[in-house]
Amino acid sequence: MKIAMMSAWNEDSGVSIHAELIGREWVKMGHDLKVFSFFTHDFHGTAIVGKDEDYVVRCFTISGAKSPYLDPRPILEADFEIFVTQDLGMLPKDGLDKIFYHIQRKASTLTVIHDNGPSADPSFYQFDWDRIVCFDRRYEEFLKKYHPEKKICLIPFPCMPLRRGEKMASRVKLGLPQDKKIILIFGHRLKAHLPILCLIREVSTHFPCLLLIVSQKDIDLLKGLEMVDMELRKESPSIERLYDYLHASDVLIIHRSPCNGVVVSSTAYQCLGSGCLILASNTNYFETMKDVVVTYSDFEEFKGNLMDILTEGEKYRASQSALEAFLESNSAKAIAMQYIDLFEIMLEERRVRIFPQSLKPIPYPEHIDQMQPQLAIERQATNPESPFTKGTFKTGNIKVI
């Protein structure tokens, strides 16, 4: 299958995480992938992470650029039968609209929604997508008010597969101490974690702890703070190095304030596969993953749950026991396959639209009037009961109505 995807790529953003997890699985499956992404001087995120693959072309700015720009030539020149966009709100929509007719002439189209609510931008609604994918029912509730419900499909956010590591070997590799509990905070939202640093200090009075902070942004805010033993590493690690940090740590803390609308924590989905337990604030970021993430609603619960994790208590064991089943059903491979199943449906629907009736010639009769030749044509209608033309089709977590 030939797939084109217009998305963030090799960047430290949730959209990029999603696109890379499923896109690389498509490549492993043998599909032909072409990725169109943001220019390196104007992209969605705080850092470019990793080297672009041969199938990546950077040809546009973010929608919020002073002069939004899309070079249409790479897209128009490419050969594909499926066209996917990720996080449409960040893409140069008006530029895309100018070539969307040409895209639709050769491909079925799909957009993956990352927005936490309905967009107020009229440009968002100018595209007639064949399918609109969202992560769970919360997204569907607002999307169906603005889009045909039959086009909306639910496919969960993907996870990295389970890939446990050796803690002590990872610490040696990273130059981290062997004799302390390591508490990891990772990502570019460091400011949000400031209120809990004093709580970590209280817990660290019970046994030696090191607070390890890995971030490219705002790390200078923490320099000089002496409330807890802390090591700062200013970097945006590749996924391989991030997993080294996770394997070396006893717990990953993700503190998020409640957000309006619906959201998922791409950081949590990215990190679950390491086996490092996650302690997270009890907000709508983690509504769909509470079995595998330990949450807290106040500061006292934070301290109690952090102690439980560091001592491998009841909540630690419950989350670890639920982890493998969650990762199996939400692995990047499983989710990528759900998209492929959906693409096959879309391609069949396209074939039915373009070739609604097949023409089958009947052989010429033995005696033909040479002055008035006739050709008998038998038309064979498509099957009206086909699952691609009516009814409900289900596969995995995809539901097409």
pLDDT in tens, 76-110: 999 999 999 999 999 999 999 999 999 999 999 99
Among 305-309, 369-373, 388-392, the minimum mean pLDDT is found in: 388-392
Tell me how far the alpha carbon of residue 264 is from its chain's centroid: 10
CATH no. of 167-330: 3.40.50.2000
Query: According to the model, what pLDDT value does residue 50 have?
Result: 82
- DSSP β-ladder status, 398-400 and 393-395: antiparallel
Instruction: Indicate the pTM of the whole model.
Output: 0.84
Query: According to the model, what pLDDT value does residue 220 have?
Result: 74
Under the banding of pLDDT at 50, 70 and 90, the label for residue 361 is low
Query: According to the model, what pLDDT value does residue 362 have?
Result: 54
Res 305 pLDDT > 50: yes
Residues 212 and 229: their CA atoms lie apart, in Å, by: 9
Residue boundaries of the structural domains of the chain: 2-158+333-343, 167-330
CATH class, range 2-158+333-343: alpha beta
Residues 45 and 12: their CA atoms lie apart, in Å, by: 5
Are 342 and 82 within 8 A, CB to CB?
no
Q: Report the b/e string of 173-196 with b at 16+ CB within 10 A.
A: ebebeeebbbbbbbbbbbeebeeb
Residues 295 and 265: their CA atoms lie apart, in Å, by: 13
Residues 357 and 229: their CA atoms lie apart, in Å, by: 73
**Mean pLDDT, to the nearest integer, of 355-377?**
50
